[in-house]
């Protein structure tokens, strides 16, 4: 049973990464990073999500919807990462997919979890989720500081989030006096 579950999860992750990798291939620079991961920085060009404003930062795209209980379970941990790590080195972009929802749902999530200081992008026509071949909620896509795909994952707890962010070389925020 566990082997089947691992195989199923691996297949799901591969299916999510393939559309993103194919789209990135068209805009990728000729060189690849050490892990041969696709360059994805320009994939969203011409959409409501312009990643160019985050050049030089690690980027975490978190796709969510308000009716997804797993998404809502992640929100306090995402906020904790936002408060723990340097905002100069990490851009966390919450992408609210309007899969049966609207701006009121977005506002309710922001208020419920105190996310006012975080970056929120509305995927009203589901273009941003279509670009990456989103197959479930929540989905997190981590892009390293050079613009290469680092990790694609589903539901995470704080420790898993911190491990990925640490692995991308993001410094912790300095303590405020």
Mean pLDDT for each consecutive 10-residue tract of the chain (177 residues)? Answer: 42 46 40 60 80 92 96 97 96 95 93 95 93 92 91 93 95 75
Cα torsion 64, 56, 15, 32 to 10°: value is 180
Residue with tokens 């291939």: 25
The answer to the question of residue 10 being in a domain is yes
Specify the 3-state DSSP secondary structure of 5: helix
Q: What is the CATH number of the domain that holds 19?
A: 3.40.30.10
The answer to the question of residue 173 being in a domain is no
Inter-residue contact 89 to 145 (CB < 8 Å): yes
The answer to the question of residue 145 being in a domain is yes
**Number of CB atoms found within 10 A of residue 114's CB:** 11
Residue 76: the pLDDT is 97
Q: How far apart are CA 94 and CA 96, in angstroms?
A: 6
Residue 36: the pLDDT is 63
The answer to the question of residue 61 being in a domain is yes
Q: How many domains does the chain have?
A: 1
The answer to the question of residue 142 being in a domain is yes
The answer to the question of residue 65 being in a domain is yes
Expressed as residue numbers, the domain containing 19 is 2-29+37-167
Residue 47: the pLDDT is 86
The answer to the question of residue 177 being in a domain is no
């Amino acid at each position: 049973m566990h082997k089947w579950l691992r195989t199923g999860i691996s297949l799901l992750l591969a299916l999510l990464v393939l559309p993103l990798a194919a789209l990135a291939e068209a805009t990728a620079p000729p060189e690849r990073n050490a892990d041969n991961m696709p360059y994805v920085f320009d994939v969203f060009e011409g959409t409501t999500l312009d990643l160019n404003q985050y050049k030089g930062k690690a980027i975490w795209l978190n796709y969510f919807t308000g009716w997804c209980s797993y998404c809502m379970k992640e929100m306090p941990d995402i906020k904790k990462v936002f408060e723990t790590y340097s905002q100069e080195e990490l851009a966390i972009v919450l992408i609210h997919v309007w899969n049966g929802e609207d701006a009121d749902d977005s506002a309710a999530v922001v208020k419920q979890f105190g996310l006012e200081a975080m970056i929120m992008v509305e995927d009203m026509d589901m273009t941003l989720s279509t670009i990456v071949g989103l197959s479930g909620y929540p989905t997190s896509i981590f892009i390293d500081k050079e613009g290469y795909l680092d990790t694609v994952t589903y539901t995470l707890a704080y420790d898993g989030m911190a491990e990925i962010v640490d692995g991308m070389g993001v410094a912790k925020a300095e303590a405020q006096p």
